[in-house]
Copies of this chain bind each other. A is one copy, B any other.
Amino acid sequence: MGANPAMRRAWLAHNTGHALETAADTRFAPEETRGNIENLVGATQVPLGIGGPIRVKGEHADGLFYVPFATTEGTLVTTYQYGMRAITEAGGATTHVLGDALDITPCFVADSTAHALEVVRWLDEHLPELQDRVAESTRHGRLLEVRAHVLGRRVFARMVFATGDAMGMNMVNLAADRVCRDVTDATACDRYYLRCNYSSDKKPAAINLFRTYGKEVAVEVTLPAGVVEQHLGLTTADLLDFVAAGRLGTMQAGALGANAHFANGLAAIYIACGQDVAQIVNASIGFIDFEAVGDGDLYVAARLPNLVVATVGGGTQLPTQRECLALLGCDGDGTARKFAEIVAATVVGGELAICAALANGRFIEAHRQTRVAAARRGARPVGAA
């Protein structure tokens, strides 16, 4: 296809009859995309709404935040908004970054299990050199550890990196590749593959339950009985009755993690803030738990072990995306963990709201209203065929 977006569109119009005129009116000059995409023709415009404010009392995020959601799904922003406000009314959510790492697992192909075990041993014994090697190729990334195991004559070497504020995939790819060359040279290994699915980036896998991938964040909030009733519209006991059913649903379905819809909030925030959207597959694997405490209060705790986020690099540099990060005060160096804490607290808000709505019947009421509202405008609402 042609050499610039306009030429590509002309070419497409010629070949397909579609000129993509609306998309053509991008809010960024093609040169601003800086490696974000190829074969650029314009921009997809995704409706952007704001939810909140949510109060976060974290290690890195501290304050009231208005959170941007880019979505085409009606009721999503409202749902999150309900829960975010309940959290704010309860005094805010406490957050902790429990871990911060990104791993990649090259596969070395040796001659035999014995040879493969030699490679493992070599890796165990040469970590400092490999760390130095990594330091040559990146200023911000660091190799933290290498955990290798064998299956037959293959070595699966999980290399764990710290990546700072960047998501880090590119950095990790380049640094690991450099390390791999040293390994094959030193161990007479025939060949290696830089990735072999084991780290399961963008794939739902059990490994996501057992290691930090991106930021691992804990969220905790206790909602007084009055807040539960006023802002969620039911008692703690009624909420927990739903939670019991939902938990059995989760377990019988064989889910990885346990939550109601982490993915909804993550998708909307990831699009708004220029994150790598496919990583919601991993990021949505996490746990939330509810307990009654005191006299009808609600204790909520969550752990999101796979929150891959960035505040520099990739899509974060694009105009609307940067704006949204700035809205959260997360547009500069040293803000990735802050961003992770805000995101994690927000998705907990979304859980509170959806569980309450499913427990008290507002869920179906909201869907019914969406339908009516859309019908009034002469339009078909979400999915209402």
Contact = CB atoms under 8 A, between A and B. Distances in A.
B368 A174 contact: yes
Interface in A33-78: 33-51, 66, 68-78
Interface in A223-265: 241-242, 244-264
Given A23-B320, A49-B40, A383 B171 contact: yes
A318 B47 contact: yes
B278 A151 contact: no
Contacts of A26: 45, 47-48
Interface residues of A, number: 176
A274 interface: yes
B200 A318 contact: no
A164 interface: yes
Contact of A22 (B33, B251, B262, B319): B319
A181 to B, nearest CB: 10
Given A149-B98, A380-B313, A205 B45 contact: no
Contacts of A133: none
Candidate in A26, A252, A257 with the most chain B CB atoms within 10 angstroms: A252
Contacts of A281: 204, 263, 280-281, 284
B289 A152 contact: yes
A349 interface: no
16 contacts: A34-B381, A39-B50, A44-B320, A45-B45, A46-B46, A113-B301, A151-B218, A171-B384, A194-B363, A196-B248, A197-B253, A206-B253, A251-B251, A251-B258, A314-B382, A317-B380
Contacts of A45: 26-28, 43-46, 318-320
B249 A138 contact: no
Interface stretch (A10-18, A122-130, A337-345): A10-18
A177 B366 CA distance: 13
B23 A383 contact: no
A23 B260 CA distance: 30
Contacts of A197: 246-247, 249-250, 253, 255, 260
B301 A22 contact: no
A264 B195 CA distance: 16
Interface in A131-176: 138-141, 149-154, 156, 163-174
Contact of A206 (B166, B206, B218, B289): B206
A107 to B, nearest CB: 4
B272 A267 contact: no
Given A35-B379, A313-B381, 20 more contacts: A8-B50, A20-B48, A20-B323, A20-B324, A26-B47, A36-B382, A37-B77, A42-B48, A44-B271, A149-B303, A163-B383, A174-B368, A197-B247, A197-B255, A200-B253, A209-B252, A263-B279, A268-B277, A312-B385, A317-B379
